[in-house]
C-alpha cells in the first residue's frame, strides 16, 4: 500500500515537473519574441531624438553670456 502511494506521489511530481518545463519553454519563447519586436521598434526610432533643432532661438547665446532683459 505504501509503495503505491509513493508511486502516485512520484507520478504527480513528474506531471507537475513536465507542465512547468513546458510553461517555462513557452514563456522563454514569448520573451524572446517580445524582445525582438522591441529591438525592431527601437531600431526604427533610432533617428528620432529629443534634441532641439539646429538654429533654435538660443543657439547663438553661450552659458557664460548674461541674458539681456
Mean pLDDT of 39-67: 68
Would residue 59 count as lying in a domain? no
Would residue 31 count as lying in a domain? yes
What is the model's pTM? 0.53
Q: Name the domain count of the chain.
A: 1
What average pLDDT does the chain have? 84
Q: Cell for 27?
A: 514563456
* Residue 68 predicted with pLDDT over 70: no
Would residue 33 count as lying in a domain? yes
- The residue range of the domain holding 34 is 19-44
CB neighbours of 61 closer than 8 A, spacing ≥ 6? 67
Would residue 1 count as lying in a domain? no
What is the per-residue pLDDT for 64?
A: 65
Over the stretch 34-51, which tens digit does the pLDDT of each residue have?
A: 999 999 999 888 766 666
Would residue 54 count as lying in a domain? no
Would residue 40 count as lying in a domain? yes
> Distance between CA atoms of 47 and 57, rounded to whole angstroms?
23
Would residue 57 count as lying in a domain? no
Amino acid at each position: 500500500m505504501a509503495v503505491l502511494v509513493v508511486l502516485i506521489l512520484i507520478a504527480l511530481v513528474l506531471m507537475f515537473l513536465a507542465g512547468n518545463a513546458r510553461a517555462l519553454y513557452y514563456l522563454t519563447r514569448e520573451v524572446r519574441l517580445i524582445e525582438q519586436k522591441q529591438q525592431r521598434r527601437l531600431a526604427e526610432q533610432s533617428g528620432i531624438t529629443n534634441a532641439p533643432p539646429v538654429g533654435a532661438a538660443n543657439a547663438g547665446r553661450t552659458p557664460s553670456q548674461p541674458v539681456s532683459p
